[in-house]
Amino acid sequence: MPFLSRRFLFTLFIVLFSCIYINAQKTESNVIMEIEQENSTSYSRILNMVVSVQNLNSTNFSGKIQFTYPKGFKVITGDEPLIELKPNEKKYLPVRIILPSDAEAGSSPIKVRLLDQLGNFITERIKEHIIEINNDLNLSLLTTSIYRSSSQEPLLIKVRVGNTGNISQDITLVCKIPDPENGNQFLEQQALINVKKDSTFVFTYQPSKSLSRLSSFTINVSGFRNPDKEIFNTSTILVQNISSVQKYQDPQFSNFTEDSKNQITTLYRRIGDNADMYQLTGSGGFNLPSGFLNMKGNIAFFNNQRQPLVTNTNITLEQGNNQYTIGSINKFLEMPLAGRGVEYSHTFKKNTKLEVGFIDQNFNLIERNTFLKNGYGFFTRGTMNINNSSKTISAGYNYRYDPYEKTSHHILGTETHYTFDKVWMVNAKVNAGLSSYESQDLLKPSFSAESNYTGAFKDYNLNGIYFFSSGYYPGNRRGSVQLQQNISKSYKNYNYFGNITYSNFSPKYYFFDRPQASENVRMEMGTKFPNSKNFSFGLLYQFQNEKSNSYNNFFGNLNSNEFRELTTHRLVEQISWSHTKTKQYASLTFDTGLAKYPLNDNLKFQMKLNGNYSFKKFNINTIYQSGSYYLSEYALSHLISDNTDYKKLSVSLFYNSNFIKDKVNVSTGLSYIDDIIYGKSPSAFFNAKYSSKNFNVFMNSSWYKYSLGDLANNIITFELGLTLNLKNSVLSPYKKAKIQVFTFYDENNNNIFDLGENPANDYIVNINNTALKTTTDGMATYKSVPFGKYKLKQHIQQGWYYDETDFNVDSHTYLLHIPLHQNGTLLGNISFDYNAKTALEFEHRASSVTFKILKGNEVVQKLESDDQGKITSFLPTGSYTIFIDTSSLPPNTYCETQSFDINVKAGEMVVVPDFIIKVREKKVNKKTFSN
């Protein structure tokens, strides 16, 4: 019986347990949970969700919801809210989750689990919250201006970069320092900045003497994201070199701009066996009290000449809008004039310029007994809108006397340039000429016109040049016609192009009876194919027709005016290959064609092969040509032999490299030419140059040999030179003054230096962006200052200040008295007020909070709090308002009272009430909805 009782109890326990388990299984399957909605942006730090739970059982359900989320996330509605459901009841639970400020971008899984009242698992749902990438970075300068009182003082540039995004970022910070001696110096630092962290970078640089001599210069700091070098911010720092004596520096010039390169070069050159030359060249300029003087010279001495050759030597004086030049004058006018002479120009207020000049056409300035014997000329030209290159117009008159023709030439003309928009531009010239021939006792009028344009019509790019001049026109290109038209179009990575050129040259002279004429027609059309990996391809067709009567003497008909004609049809194939990493480049151009020569009835084959290959510092070039491409080649080869086709072979090898930190440059090369006209001609050269800050040394040498039949010769040229680099100067054409500054402590505030008052020693005065530091007697000097208006900028120090003011410099010596007034002191502090239990997470930081001080509506000062949250400022007497910049506060904090009005008095301290920083508190919003 006991055994039966135990068996019965065991069976009953199994049945009851099975019923409970089955019921539990039924309960689990009949309670469902869903995440029904999410109302949050990918950039929001608050995630709002609604979780729905429905009980499909016929009995009540009691349980709780449990959340699992990434580290740093906080559920402000409670981590395990309880839930009670009646049969068939459905409830909605709003859930608010706060994401940490350093939440990283990407997918953040949030797991929501439903448990019964015993903690048994019922069901779960997972929500993948996607946080989009935010790569915001900010760059701030810890010092926006630097004052240097010693040339030995190094530059310290401090930069803070903060990562306000949600991904760690690899950055490069580049500090660009312009140094006239060493060029632009780029200092780089790299760092990985984690989310919501910042890093401070410190750059150190010792300026050169040239940089220290500048009154001021700017340093550029740029931040780049790696590896694409995407720039995210830039900033500039003004550096002022403090001295009691400063020299004016024009702000429109960069730190390298030098109007005058002051240098002297001397060299010796040996040409062949018996020609020696000594040459001295140089250029330089210096400022005058009114304007500047600029000089350049070139003097050569030859061993076989008694008189030196002085060319390209002149002196230029520029004062305001006037410029005077005497010496070598080279004017590339419609009728060129070159020689020794004088030139004057004046620029009017409305951007109009007038130029006049007289030139004796003798190249040697010191040539004796030849004044006006080689011809002379006069010119004048006026130009409007000289500072507007898109809309200019000019007119000029040009006179030249030619003693060889015994002719006086006159040209009067005008030129205009007009840019319609970014696409269309046109330039036009019209000139009328008149020549007076003494021997023929006649006047001959002439004419020329020229126009060129660029533009586009739909997808077609167009440009053309058109020129015409009559036969006796005395200017450039006498008796010429030139017509050229180009067109190109890009379509699906293909580039199609075509051009046609017609030229006719038929000048006429009274002293030369034999007519001279030539005519050329050239057409091209082709395409450049899309690049394929490292290869590019091109194909074009060329037609060329050349006629001339200038080569008859080569064909044995000296007195004949018969036209000789050459016509060719060519097909040109081009292929090139480049490899950037290995610094290799190769190109091959292959011409093949048929030509009709003057003395041949049949078409002749011609070809040219041009190959080029470069690898790093080496370059090799080869040209092979068979057949005459021009009438001159055909005529010269026919002169040598009637039945010989023109052939040419050229091979060249070059090498160029820099050594010792680019101070030494070596360039050398070999070349060989085998030409039916000029024979076999090998040549070589070797050039070397050493460059330093103060001097350059160079050596150039070459060897050339030619042999044609029984004629052979060797020519060796050797050159050795030295260049001295003197101190450069920025030249100014305006009147200049010396500002004499005197500062003193104005104890009684009457702006007058009274008996008993003391000069201000070691006080910094700012005139525009130039800083001057006074001596023991309160003096400072600002030299070479152009006449005009300047601003005395306030710079409070040592408890004293001066009033900002504008002043006008209108005399060569300007006395500037600066009375100093005692300032007041402003003190302030930051404090925090918050409830640690209810406050949101925040950074307890009182440093780097920005403040602005306004006088009226003008910001007079910006300052930041220190590590203890304190602020200090020195201000002149007056009423001010101090504002806190709330954007500089830590996240989740705010300040209710953001400004205070203050009244500053001389010699007194004003304590501003504390700026109280409060912290935002947590908010819990829970709503329940039932069916």
Report which DSSP code applies to 839.
Answer: B
Which residue is associated with the tokens 């023709």? 405
The reported pLDDT for the residue numbered 404 is 86
| Domain 137-241 belongs in CATH node 3.40.190.290 | no
Computed over every residue of the chain, the mean pLDDT equals: 86
pLDDT tens-digit map of 483-529: 999 999 998 889 999 999 999 999 988 877 778 889 999 999 999 99
Tell me how far apart the alpha carbons of residues 479 and 469 are, in angstroms, rounded to a whole number.
5
CA distance 788 to 646: 70
| All residues at 6 or more sequence positions from 486 whose CB lies less than 8 Å from its CB, including other chains | 461, 462, 463, 464, 497, 498, 499
Spell out the residues 6+ positions from residue 485 whose beta carbon is closer than 8 angstroms to its own.
462, 463, 464, 499, 500
On the question of pLDDT at 15 being above 60, the answer is: no
Task: Identify whether the C-beta of residue 905 lies closer than 8 Å to the C-beta of residue 824.
Answer: yes
Which amino acid would we find at residue 501?
T
pLDDT given for residue 599 in this prediction:
84
Contacts of residue 634, defined as CB under 8 A and 6 or more positions apart, other chains included, come to: 566, 597, 598, 628, 646
SS3 130: strand
| Residue 695 in this model has a pLDDT that exceeds 60 | yes
Q: Is pLDDT of 927 > 60?
A: no
**What does the pLDDT read at residue 25?**
40
Q: How far is CA 823 from CA 674, 773, 793, 877, 909, in A?
A: 87, 19, 16, 6, 9
3 state SS of 283: strand
The mean per-residue pLDDT over the stretch 530-538 comes to 90
DSSP secondary structure, 146-170, as one string = EEE--TTPPEEEEEEEEE-SSS-EE
Cα(574)–Cα(610) distance, integer angstroms: 10
Task: Please check the confidence at residue 685 and state whether its pLDDT lies above 90.
Answer: yes
Regarding the domain delimited by 736-822, which CATH topology (the fold level of the hierarchy) does it fall under? Immunoglobulin-like (2.60.40)
In our burial notation (b when 16+ CB lie closer than 10 A, e otherwise), range 46-72 reads ebebbbebbbbbeeebebbbbbebeee
Strand partners, 888: none
Is 82:74 a contact under the CB 8 Å cutoff?
A: no
pLDDT for 796 equals 66
Residue 557 token pair: 């008909």
Percent of the chain with pLDDT over 90: 41
Contact 747, 757 (CB under 8 A): yes
Averaged pLDDT, 815-840: 88
Per-residue pLDDT at 10: 53
CATH code, 830-919: 2.60.40.10
Which residues neighbour 172 within 8 Å (Cβ) at sequence distance 6 or greater?
A: 188, 189, 190, 223, 224, 226, 229
Is residue 146 within 8 A of residue 237, CB to CB? The reply is yes
pLDDT tens-digit series, residues 713-751: 888 999 999 999 888 777 888 888 999 999 999 888 888
Residues paired with residue 792 on neighbouring β-strands, in sequence order: 767, 805
pLDDT recorded at residue 513: 75
Q: Encoding tokens for residue 743?
A: 């500062």
**CA R_g for the chain:** 43
pLDDT per residue over 843-884, tens digit each?
Answer: 888 888 999 999 888 888 888 888 888 998 888 888 999 999
Token readout for 488 is: 């190109």
Residue 887 DSSP SS3: helix
Question: pLDDT tier at 378 (50, 70, 90 boundaries)?
Answer: very high
User: How far apart (Å, rounded) are the C-alpha atoms in residues 613 and 620?
Assistant: 5
Q: In the predicted model, is pLDDT for residue 19 greater than 50?
A: no
Buried (b) or exposed (e) across 309-346, using 16+ Cβ within 10 A? bbbebbebbbbeeebebebbbebebbbebbbbbebebe
Task: Return the amino acid letter for 914.
Answer: D
Cα–Cα distance measured from residue 96 to residue 46, given in angstroms and rounded to the nearest whole number: 7
| C-alpha dist (Å) from residue 528 to 578, 588, 608 | 16, 14, 20
Q: Is the pTM of this model over 0.75?
A: no
Three-state SS for 781? strand
| H/E run at residue 3 | helix 2-29
- Evaluate whether the domain defined by 2-132 bears CATH number 1.10.10.60: no
pLDDT value at position 138? 86
Q: What is the pLDDT of residues 91-118, one digit of tens each?
A: 888 888 887 766 777 778 888 888 888 8
Question: Each residue of 187-244: pLDDT tens digit?
Answer: 999 999 888 788 889 999 988 887 888 888 889 999 999 888 888 989 888 888 888 8
> One fold for both 2-132 and 137-241?
yes
Cis-peptide into 227, omega within 30 deg? yes
Strand pairing of 805-809 and 893-895? unpaired
Mean pLDDT value of segment 619-629: 94
Predicted confidence at residue 386, as pLDDT, reads: 86
Q: What is the pLDDT of residue 29?
A: 55
The Cα 398–Cα 416 span in angstroms is 17
The pLDDT assigned to 521 comes to 96
- DSSP code at position 759: B
φ and ψ at 679, to 5 degrees?
Answer: 80, -160
Longest dimension (CA), the chain: 164
How many Å apart are CA 210 and CA 926, to the nearest integer? 71
Cβ contacts of residue 444 below 8 Å, gap of 6+?
434, 435, 437, 472
Q: Kindly state the tokens that stand for 124.
A: 């779960």
Alpha carbon distance 564, 548 (integer Å): 5
Which residues on adjacent β-strands are paired with residue 688?
A: 666, 699
Read off the tokens for 271.
């040409």
The three-state secondary structure class of 369 is coil
Please write the tens of the pLDDT for every residue from 248-257: 776 655 444 4
Q: Which two tokens stand for residue 799?
A: 């408890």
Mean pLDDT over 828-849 rounds to 85
Q: What is the pLDDT of residue 255?
A: 41
Taking the C-alpha atoms of residue 863 and residue 796, their distance in angstroms, rounded to an integer, is 14
Q: How far is residue 423 CA from its own chain's centroid?
A: 23
- Asked whether residue 589 carries a pLDDT value surpassing 80, the answer given is yes
Q: What is the pLDDT of residues 127-170, one digit of tens each?
A: 888 777 788 888 888 877 888 877 788 888 889 898 888 788 89
Q: Which of 506, 526, 525 is CA-nearest to residue 516?
A: 506
- DSSP conformation letters of 314-330: EEEEEETTEEEEEEEEE
Fill in the DSSP letter of residue 135: -
C-alpha separations of 197 from 137, 678, 893 in Å: 10, 74, 18
Query: What H or E segment, with its residue span, contains residue 85?
Result: strand 82-85
DSSP per position, 722-774: EEEE---B----SBEEEEEEEEEE-TTSSSS--TT--B-TT-EEEETTEEEE-
Quote the CA–CA distance of 419 and 429 in Å, as a whole number.
Answer: 15
- 437-483 pLDDT per residue, tens: 998 889 999 999 999 999 998 889 999 999 999 999 999 889 999 99
What are the extents of the domains in the chain? Answer: 2-132, 137-241, 736-822, 830-919
Sorting pLDDT into bands at 50, 70 and 90, what band is 677?
A: confident
**pLDDT tens by residue, 273-298:** 888 999 999 999 988 888 899 999 99
Contacts of 769 (CB under 8 A, 6+ apart): 215, 216, 238, 240, 251
**Per-residue pLDDT at 21:** 39
The answer on pLDDT for 709 being more than 70 is no
The per-residue pLDDT for 390 is: 84
Q: Which stretch of 88-92, 177-181, 392-396, 405-409 has the lowest confidence by average pLDDT?
A: 177-181
For CA atoms 485, 486, 489, 494, the dihedral sign is positive
**Does the pLDDT at position 826 exceed 80?**
yes
